[in-house]
Structure 1
Amino acid sequence: MKLFLIVTLFIYSVNADEYLSYEVEPFTDEIVNGINALNTTWKAGKNFNGSSVQIDTLVPTHEKLWSYPRDFPIRKYGSCKLPVNFDARVAWPNCTSIGKIYDQTKGYPSWIYTAVGTIADRLCTKHGVQIDVKATVEHMVKTNVDFKNYYNSANIGQALKYWAKNGIFTVESVKESSCLPLSQKCQSNEIKLDKYFKVTNEVLKYESEVMKSIKLYGPVSAYMEVYADFLSYVSGVYKRYSENYVGYHNIKIIGWGTENGVDYLLATNSWGTEWGEEGFFKLKRNAQQLGFGTNPISTSLMPVDNEKDIPRSYVHGQLFYLAK
């Protein structure tokens, strides 16, 4: 028995750059022990308060995401001095949406908190507009975007393209809305239109551009390839060591820094506060940890004041509810 333990630890620790086997499954003691035996930049453990969570509620899109929006233009910024550490929560303390952690395991689509959250963040940092992300998500979910719906994917680009084509409205909730389905307009006494915004999206090809975009305008949304070990992340700077691919996911990058000499990007997840560092995680920089060809997206919003340029109709998917 003692010899078996020695051999097992040797297999795990012989080379910290080797990957764990494809056969090592998520949520198991084997993957937790394997990562921790590597003595790497992060720790693995039991998340979700020990409760059983289905992978499909966390990462519903298992195929490679060939529909990634590659037609977005590439954004390049000019010279911009970047600090060693940056946290958008600190830079914009009044924009509370930046640091909120939500829980998609309750039955919401995997893209929705990242897409709505990033729009909310940038409406606040640029225009001082506070959005109730929870209320906005719940109203969108009511419009047939349910847990098992086609839209329960990891393709935030689909939502961002829609908003780029149709724009968004900020609205005030006058009373509980009952206007369903998606194609039906709300009654005028249920919501009050506030402002209309045009939306533009650009991809950020290089990490330095991601950091500049966050510093200048706020958090960015991103695709991320998820492997089995990420599900057991509890602290530190994550670097992938699993070969067991489980699917695509969407996250929000809100800053960066250095921990124990390791550079990282700071991100929020949407798996609740019982995962990772109370819902947050650090992702090793300069290591393609998001996956290959999965560039983060910078979204800009421009208010439209000319009435003739404002659409005369709208659907739930365009409505962002103002915080009360």
Structure 2
Amino acid sequence: MGKRLPLLTTFGESTFKDLPKSFDPRTKWPNCKTLFEIRDQGSCGSCWAFGAAEAMSDRLCIHNPEAVKGTADIVRLSADDLLSCCSICGMGCNGGFPLEAWEFWKRKGLVSGGLYGTKGVCRAYEIPPCEHHVNGTRPPCSGDAKTPKCKHTCQPEYKVTYAKDKHFATKVYSIRKDEDAIKHELFTNGPVEADFEVYADFPSYKSGVYQHVSGALLGGHAIKLMGWGEENGVPYWLCANSWNTDWGDGGFFKILRGENHCGIESDINAGIPKV
């Protein structure tokens, strides 16, 4: 195991007694539009950067009272900036470490970004979208994209400097492997980054609560974990993937909750933005 972020100190059971039976952050913070969005990591093993940048973007809104009211612009933090410039995060498109991504947000900050080809932001994603395990109009993902180069400049038409466009965290931390502690964090501060073991029966997911039944281990995958509930008596975590909207349930999926299924509860990272 590598190093871990500081564990967030949570309180006793009284802290958790008011948690609802189900929770979807899109209902609690409807003006935080990033909660409704799904990104596409393209043919690059950058899930670690996407799960982080997505949850960080949500939190940037959730912790800004004006944005929550719908009276401030929504900022989408750049997965490209994180992927290309975080030298301690691992191997870029060949995989990386979620906890280091959160540390980078605190130490170096992230500029505005968004989907491939987005205008009006500092650093849009540079790797084009592709089809992740589904048939569609885009080319199938090959997984062989090169990590973009780190550039400390914004797109030519963007009028803010790279340094001035940076957004930072005030603190970053891990959440202990405890269902109620994770729920409390989601309910209080917004989505987190989680990772889990992907088996051969996961890529074909369409709906319902995913439970691994058969198939070989394909590798680790980082995602945004955002809510919880029950479906037909089966407890689940609600997650957003980064395989575009035509994968899974509109880009989202549910996975069994409370049993650390495929390791989903064992590496939860989060942080509080500076607003």
State the alpha-carbon separation in 2 of the partners of residues 84 and 175 from structure 1: 38
| AA matched with 2:242 | S
Q: CA RMSD in A?
A: 3.2
Counterpart pick for 1:257 among 229, 233, 237: 229
Would the aligned equivalents of 2:105 and 2:168 in 1 still touch at CA under 8 Å? no
Kindly provide the amino acid, as one letter, of the partner of residue 191 in structure 1: V
Partner residue of 2:205?
Answer: 233
Matching of residues 133-282 of structure 1 within 5 Å? 133=77, 136-138=78-80, 143=84, 150-152=91-93, 153-168=95-110, 182=150, 184=152, 190-192=159-161, 193=164, 196-205=167-176, 206-242=178-214, 244-282=216-254
* Of 55, 70, 81, the match for 2:4: 70
Note the alpha carbon deviations across 1:236-293, whole angstroms, 9 max, x for none. Answer: 1111112511111111111111111111111111111222111111111122114187
- Kept in 2, the 8 Å contact 1:174–1:191? The answer is no
**How big is the shift at 1:176?**
7.3
Distance in 1 separating the partners of 2:193 and 2:121: 31
Q: Judging changes above 3 Å, is the alpha-carbon distance between structure 1 residues 158 and 139 closer, same or farther for their aligned structure 2 residues? A: closer
248 and 217 in structure 1: CA distance in 2 versus 1, 3 angstrom threshold: same
Unpaired runs of 5+ residues, structure 1, are 1-65, 304-324
SS at match of 2:208: strand
The answer on whether the counterparts of 1:73 and 1:201 sit within 8 Å (CA) in structure 2 is: no
Tell me if the contact between 1:154 and 1:223 (Cα under 8 Å) persists in the aligned partners.
no
1:288/1:184 CA distance change after superposition, 3 Å? closer
Residue 274 of structure 2 aligns to a residue whose secondary structure is: strand
Structure 2's unaligned 5+ residue stretches are 114-118, 124-147
| % identity of equivalent residues | 31
Max Rg structure:
1
Question: How far apart are the structure 2 equivalents of 1:105 and 1:196?
Answer: 24
Give 1:109 shift: 1.8
After TM superposition, the score normalised by the length of structure 2 is 0.71
Q: 1:190 to 1:293 in 2, by over 3 A?
A: same
Residues matched between the structures, number: 229
Correspondence for 2:76? 132
Distance 1:112 1:76, change over 3 A: same
What TM-score do you get using the length of structure 1 for normalisation?
Answer: 0.61
CA separation in 1, counterparts of 2:236 and 2:197?
17
Which structure has more strand as a fraction of its residues?
A: 1
Counterparts of 2:196 and 2:264 in 1: how far apart (Å)? Answer: 9
The equivalent position to 2:31 in structure 1, one of 86, 94, 104, is 94
Cα contact 1:237–1:259 (8 A) shared by 2: yes
Query: Structure 1 residues 287 and 118, CA, compared in 2 at 3 Å: closer, same or farther?
Result: same
Displacement of 1:170: 6.2
**Is the Cα contact below 8 Å between 1:223 and 1:248 reproduced in 2?**
yes
How many angstroms does 1:164 deviate by? 2.5
